[in-house]
Amino acid sequence: MKDRFVVTGGARLEGAVKVSGAKNSVLKLMAAALLAEGTTTLRNCPEILDVPLMQKVLEGLGCIVTIDGPVVRITTPAMPTSDADFDAVRQFRASVCVLGPLTARCGRAVVALPGGDAIGSRPLDMHQSGLEKLGARTRIQHGAVVAEADALVGAPITLDFPSVGATENILTAAVLAQGRTVLDNAAREPEIVDLCEMLTSMGAQIQGAGTSTITIDGVARLYPTDHEVIGDRIVAGTWAYAAAMTRGDITVSGISPRNLHLPLEKLKMAGAEIETYETGFRVRMGRRPSAVDYQTLPFPGFPTDLQPMAIGISAVAQGTSVITENVFESRFRFVDEMLRLGADATVDGHHVVLRGMERLSSTEVWSSDIRAGAGLVLSALVSEGETVVHDVHHIDRGYPKFVENLRSLGATIERVSA
């Protein structure tokens, strides 16, 4: 937990990197394994800290979980335990995704209010409201959300906001409900499509994945499956912005470029050359980036998880950029650390104005969440001198072999343990 990265600026990143499975998908797929008795196998799983954390959560529910590199096997009992381990759940946000499966399988779920990244409030009201429309009774009690249901029954549900987490919990409860559920204003993220594809392979009846209206016809039982996790578009996007920021040349594989359409278009506007392939892309930047404006929105908009990278490239771009955060109100905590690096940035509500400069200046900075940590490392690469990035356990939660990949691309970076 006390490890830090020491980064020497000035390197031009060049080479190739392959991304593994998506953090924002694998944890939800692991939770979905609770819906079927027997052994479910997940392949192409990322080797990140959050996977063994989810392993602890599932083992506390009575599952047997084995991790063999990129392969995770989950053996779910005939009736899982309904109370998720308090200490394990509180460590990361994605643990709340066991709420839907447990309510559907056990008729009861007790899940501690989750922890995770410090990027703003992420209440569970839409999760609770969705489950209540399916017939569950929910409440917050002793620091946990409690859901109980004698039987779940399909219903029309409309989300106030296309929340990924609420969509996932409603989906994983509705697949075992009696009758039809029509979920409007559903999240459209590729990770939702990945979850729907896994649930369908388990025997679920789902239509409309990837659109704003998902229709679920409940079935009596689901079965274990063998599923390959979708590639991580946020990790891939991080490498894309690393290429552009360092005026480098990086080829990224293991991801559909369709899932990064807008971030790659923004890099084109900044002056990058983009080549796309069926399972990857190449980003080349031969000059200082041009300033581009960004606003984060649910998919297919610009992802909030790449907002620190947008700020990073804007800090060294030619001209003035305005970045607008529409998803998480505390994501701009990252700007305080960028100011330490000498960025010319002004925060005004949910906007930040950046006046780009040729290079940043090195100092000590602190990660507050996964993406902020990665963004600080990229910014350190375009800073003069040696930058120390603290609290890098956040980065380890979302980026497999981060230091090794950066070194292979030509970066000078060292992990130092206390």
pLDDT in tens, 261-273: 999 999 999 999 9
Q: What is the pLDDT of residue 116?
A: 45
Respond yes or no: is residue 117 known to be catalytic.
Answer: yes
Is residue 236 within 8 A of residue 18, CB to CB? The reply is no
Position with higher pLDDT, 33 vs 397: 33
pLDDT at 148: 95
Backbone φ, ψ for residue 100 (5° rounding) = -65, -50
Each residue's pLDDT tens digit, 136-195: 999 988 888 899 999 999 999 999 999 999 999 999 999 999 999 999 999 999 999 999
Q: Round to whole Å and give the CA distance between 194 and 275.
A: 25
Q: 283 pLDDT band (50/70/90 cuts)?
A: very high
Query: What is the chain's length?
Result: 418
Residue 90 has pLDDT above 90, yes or no: no
Higher-pLDDT residue of 174 and 53 is: 174
Return phi, psi of residue 285, to 5°: -135, 115
Tens of pLDDT, residues 292-341 = 999 999 999 999 999 999 999 999 999 999 999 988 766 678 899 999 99
> How high is the pLDDT of residue 332?
78
Residue whose structure tokens are 């690393």: 242
Cis peptide before 300 (omega within 30 of 0): yes
Mean pLDDT for the stretch of residues 375-395: 96
Please provide residue 275's backbone torsions phi and psi, each rounded to the nearest 5 degrees.
-115, 135
Q: How many beta carbons lie within 10 A of that of residue 176, not counting itself?
A: 23
Task: Characterise 239 by phi-psi region: left (phi > 0), alpha (psi -120 to 50), beta (else).
Answer: alpha
Q: Is the pLDDT of residue 119 over 60?
A: no
pLDDT in tens, 232-256: 999 999 999 999 999 999 999 999 9
Q: How far apart are CA 110 and CA 102, in angstroms?
A: 9
Name the pLDDT band for 9 (thresholds 50, 70, 90): very high
pLDDT at site 112? 82
To the nearest whole percent, how much of the chain has pLDDT over 70?
A: 94
Report, as an integer, the average pLDDT of 186-207. Answer: 98
Q: Which of 117, 194, 249, 391 is catalytic?
A: 117
As annotated, the binding site includes 23-24, 93, 305, 327
Given a contact cutoff of 8 angstroms between Cβ atoms, the answer to whether 50 and 393 are in contact is no
- Judged on CB neighbours under 10 Å (0-12, 13-18, 19+), 12 is middle
Distance separating alpha carbons of residues 242 and 381, to the nearest angstrom: 9
Judge whether residue 1 has pLDDT over 60: no
DSSP state of 96: G
Residue 113 pLDDT = 79
112 or 398, greater pLDDT: 398
Residue 121 has pLDDT above 50, yes or no: no
pLDDT value of position 117: 43
Helix (H, G, I), strand (E, B) or coil at 140: strand
Quote the tokens at residue 356: 């780009």
* Partners of residue 283 on adjacent β-strands: 250, 274
Q: Does residue 224 register a pLDDT over 80?
A: yes
Distance, in Å, from the CA atom of 290 to the CA atom of 270, rounded to the nearest integer, reads 4
> What's the burial of 172, exposed, middle or buried (CB within 10 Å: 0-12/13-18/19+)?
buried
Amino acid at 378: L
**Residues 239/19, Cβ–Cβ less than 8 Å:** yes
In the 8-state DSSP scheme, what is residue 202?
T
Of the ranges 26-40, 93-107, 173-187, which one carries the lowest mean pLDDT score? 93-107
How high is the mean pLDDT of the chain?
Answer: 93
At residue 256, the pLDDT reads: 96
Closest CA to 213 of 201, 199, 196, 200: 196
> What's residue 233's pLDDT?
98
Spatial separation of the C-alpha atoms in residues 140 and 76, rounded to whole Å:
27
Please check the confidence at residue 278 and state whether its pLDDT lies above 60.
yes
Provide the annotated binding site for UDP-N-acetyl-alpha-D-glucosamine.
93, 305, 327
- For 143, counting Cβ atoms within 10 Å of its Cβ (0-12 exposed, 13-18 middle, 19+ buried), the class is exposed
H helical segments located in 99-245: 99-106, 125-133, 164-174, 190-201, 233-245
Percent of the chain at pLDDT above 90?
Answer: 86
Q: Which residues are annotated as a binding site for phosphoenolpyruvate?
A: 23-24
**Can you give the pLDDT at residue 82?**
84
Structural domains in the chain?
4-19+231-416 (3.65.10.10), 23-228 (3.65.10.10)
Task: Give CA–CA dist 279/5, Å, rounded.
Answer: 31
Statement: residue 120 has pLDDT above 50? no
Using alpha carbons, select from 405, 38, 44 the residue that is nearest to residue 231.
44
**Token pair 């989750």 in the structure block, residue:** 114
pLDDT, residue 329, reads 67
Specify the pLDDT at position 330.
65
